[in-house]
Structure 1
Amino acid sequence: MGSQREVVIIGGGIIGSFLGYQLTKRGRKVTIVEQTDLASGASGAAAGMLAADCEHFDHPELQTMARMSRDAFPAIIRELRQTSGIDAGLNEQGFLTPARDNREAEELQARILAGGTGEWWTPERLSTSEPALRHGLAGAIYRSEEIQVIPSKLTQALAYSAQAKGAVLLHQTEATSIQVQENQVQGVVTSRGFLPCDQIVLAGGWRMEQLLQPLGISLPLEPVKGEIVEVRSDTPLLRTTLYAKSIYIVPKPGNKLWIGATSFPGDSSNGVAAGSVTRLLSEAAEMIPEISNAHFVRAWSGHRPKSPDGLPYLGEFSDVRGLYAAAGHYRNGILLSAITARILSDEMDGIVTPGINLAPFRPDRFQNQLEGGLLR
């Protein structure tokens, strides 16, 4: 299928597209192989929140990476718009974490005093800034640094910008096997033929492990199903993104609100349950009563790829030269896409990314456990 490419990226979601863009900027010859369409999996189903401080991270290294990634987005998105002409829907109005009562207010204020980010909004300021929120809230943390995007648009902007810089995009193309000789990758067999290359990056969803099984390599991933509901109001109901304990409400262009999300570990089914729609709309209406009068637009689901320890897989496999993983980002694929692309691009060029310890994220960290029969 043509001349030798330096890199083949398997997966045309946000991670694969971001990496393709970064590598082409560095002058690398890249092919992105996508089984269906761009952002057709978890990337297209995400709400697009870049919530490095609202989100809870069990690992401190992941928190650092999340903040580095979030802070890189505004400049990159402006750059992408110039290259691709695609508007990724960047919203820089900030995030609110509301307190439903005085106890929650004390807990949230304690986070700020303990060195957390954000500023405290009193109930009066909250009702002035977001009048559609229900009365009686005890205040909120406002975080101006948190932003959000439209993930499908951002993925398209990245992929087409990479294409404009020389990358090859292969849509509707399945990667069926990885060819290795003497512990060095040789290329990828696809439904369109063989793609010879020097480096391969696994950047797809939760089924990525299937490609590795013939090589005796494991990359355990579990699907975690999530569902989102979209409604549209006649007038704007929300300016900032609402990031509450059990629900988020994300304002999108055209007076639309994305309300999410459910979480069902191990569920690989498609579609949206009626009960999920009812619960999400009910909880959203508790925060913004006028949502009950909004127009229902649609609901959708996706599958977040989760590793056994909840950390992504980043870097080169120790047993196969030229084989890399950028997968398993679970809830934070959109948020971590910028830093993931930088880390992988650096490692593939033999550079150590400053300020990041990649040891917890090595892609073969479960291999010995699997070979010993300890992990199922």
Structure 2
Amino acid sequence: MSSTHQASEIVIVGGGIYGTSLAYQLAKAGKSVTLLEAGEIAGGASGGPGERGVRTNGRDFRELPVCALSLELWSHYQQAFEGGVGYRRIGGIKVFDIPYGHREHEVMGRMHAMAAAQSSLGAPSEVWSRDETLSREPELAAGIIGAVYCPNDGVGDHTFATQQFAKEAAKAGVSIRTQAKVEEIIHTRGVATGVRLAGGEVVPVGERLVIVANAGAQTLLQPIFKPHEFSPVWNLMPQMHYVSNPLNKKVNHLISHAHRRLAVKQIPDGTLMLSGGAHVAHTPEGLWKGSLSSMTQNVTDAIMTFPFIDHSTFMKADASRIETVAADQIPLIGQTETLANTLYGYAWSGHGFAISLGFTKLMTDWITSGSKPEALEAFSPTRFHKPAALLRSAEVSRAA
């Protein structure tokens, strides 16, 4: 089946927070945009119940400048969009205790070094003493020795935010097509000219093709990638747990723990959301299988951090969203060598929601200016191949 549609300047594949916010920003920059989503908007990793952390605290240092930009944009769009984007700036703390075999001066040194590095990279951070931490979060376990506090951190309703960006993108003129699964990139003479949908229709591409479909991105790009463009990634299914709060206790911040795989959020209805722990099994079809061991580990870590949670009742679990993770757990963003007009971003590694608006702003700048922002260099897939190539070059030089 051939296309009967006029080519948009930009065709975006993927209707999550990356695709919708990028579509909106490009439309506002004057581009004609078509957004293609295989299912429904926010139907993948950008959707689901509860809230996501919008944090800088504890991030990979390479991400922090982009994340700082992203937090500014979350605040901006919360005010600019009618109804906001579901963003709440409540501050975030990473709490520290002294694990077995460690020494207090080591842990305190790590806290101060972490806060200093984060602050210098665009994420204001400060160290709280034990007393100050417990005054701000009195329900924490007595064994903590302090925390690193990031006042600009917060939480966001990821499904609502994604839908809001889709709504505003449509108002700005973006053509959004759901149930439009892309199966093949059509190209000629080093340029992507269209994408073929599952039903055979070809959607034409004008100026740029952008692939931000996360779990499906590398498979779609595989036929046009050169060997060194492939990156070591895998898929997982994070499990979120929701428990009641019968004692009506208050968790005042976005909470993470330095030595446990744990994040604790109190969503607006008072329910406690526990995440960050072990994951669950999944099938090739994307179906998930609940895991009692995952639940036990996550809930135990939560109770050790907030003892009052031991009084809670388990409400539900959700692990229905596939996430793609890179080997070094930071995203992959680049331009294909074979097709000069094709950009991509994927492998958000389980924490991409918070940083999304920074990345899509930089990708918008790239597309509109024609120059790749320096801030994106750290996320190129060449990071997995370039060091070895440089070493081989040095060896050849020495031999000569």
TM range (shorter): 0.7 to 0.9
Matches within 5 A, 1:1-376: 1-44=4-47, 48-55=52-59, 57=60, 60-80=61-81, 82=82, 85=83, 87-101=84-98, 103=104, 106-111=108-113, 114=116, 116-117=118-119, 118-191=125-198, 193-198=201-206, 199-215=208-224, 217=226, 219-220=230-231, 221-234=233-246, 235-245=248-258, 246=260, 247-263=262-278, 270-301=288-319, 302-352=321-371, 356-362=374-380
Q: Any unmatched runs of 5+ in structure 1?
A: 370-376
Q: CA deviation at 1:297?
A: 2.5
Q: CA deviation at 1:66?
A: 2.1
TM score, norm. by length of structure 2: 0.81
Mapped partners of 1:294, 1:341: distance in 2 = 39
Mapped partners of 1:28, 1:52: distance in 2 = 31
Mapped partners of 2:362, 2:267: distance in 1 = 30
Answer whether contact 1:47 1:150 (CA < 8 A) is retained: yes
Answer whether contact 2:28 2:172 (CA < 8 A) is retained: yes
Q: CA deviation at 1:211?
A: 1.7
Q: CA deviation at 1:347?
A: 1.4
Q: CA RMSD in A?
A: 2.8
Match of 1:374 in 2: none
Q: Secondary structure at the match of 1:229?
A: strand
Q: CA deviation at 1:326?
A: 1.6
Answer whether contact 1:315 1:344 (CA < 8 A) is retained: no
Mapped partners of 2:179, 2:221: distance in 1 = 21
**Kindly, what percent of the aligned residue pairs are identical?**
20
Q: CA deviation at 1:341?
A: 0.7
* CA distance 1:10–1:51, shift in 2 (3 Å): same
Answer whether contact 1:43 1:334 (CA < 8 A) is retained: yes
Q: Secondary structure at the match of 2:23?
A: helix
Match of 2:122 in 1: none
Q: Secondary structure at the match of 1:250?
A: strand
Match of 1:373 in 2: none
* CA distance 1:190–1:113, shift in 2 (3 Å): closer
Q: Give per-residue Cα distances to partners, 1:257-300, cap 9 Å, x unaligned.
A: 21112355997662331111111111111121221222322212
Q: CA deviation at 1:216?
A: 5.1
Answer whether contact 2:115 2:126 (CA < 8 A) is retained: no
* CA distance 1:29–1:115, shift in 2 (3 Å): closer
Mapped partners of 1:194, 1:65: distance in 2 = 35
Q: CA deviation at 1:134?
A: 2.6
Residue type of the partner of 2:315?
V
Q: Give per-residue Cα distances to partners, 1:33-62, cap 9 Å, x unaligned.
A: 11112222222259521222322x1xx543
Q: Secondary structure at the match of 1:120?
A: strand
Mapped partners of 2:382, 2:309: distance in 1 = 46
Mapped partners of 1:113, 1:335: distance in 2 = 19
Mapped partners of 2:310, 2:280: distance in 1 = 29
* CA distance 1:367–1:120, shift in 2 (3 Å): closer
Answer whether contact 1:34 1:170 (CA < 8 A) is retained: yes
Q: Secondary structure at the match of 1:206?
A: helix
Q: CA deviation at 1:94?
A: 0.6
Mapped partners of 2:186, 2:383: distance in 1 = 22
Q: Secondary structure at the match of 1:210?
A: helix
Mapped partners of 1:108, 1:93: distance in 2 = 24
Mapped partners of 1:136, 1:258: distance in 2 = 22
Q: Any unmatched runs of 5+ in structure 2?
A: 120-124, 388-400
Q: CA deviation at 1:200?
A: 1.1
Answer whether contact 1:183 1:319 (CA < 8 A) is retained: yes
Q: CA deviation at 1:156?
A: 1.0
Answer whether contact 2:12 2:210 (CA < 8 A) is retained: yes
Answer whether contact 2:280 2:289 (CA < 8 A) is retained: no
Q: Give per-residue Cα distances to partners, 1:242-263, cap 9 Å, x unaligned.
A: 1112111012110022111235
Farther off after superposition, 102-111 or 339-348:
102-111
Answer whether contact 2:93 2:148 (CA < 8 A) is retained: yes
Answer whether contact 2:240 2:274 (CA < 8 A) is retained: yes
Q: CA deviation at 1:88?
A: 3.3
Aligned residue pairs, count:
361
* CA distance 1:307–1:106, shift in 2 (3 Å): closer
Q: Secondary structure at the match of 2:184?
A: strand
Answer whether contact 2:18 2:356 (CA < 8 A) is retained: yes
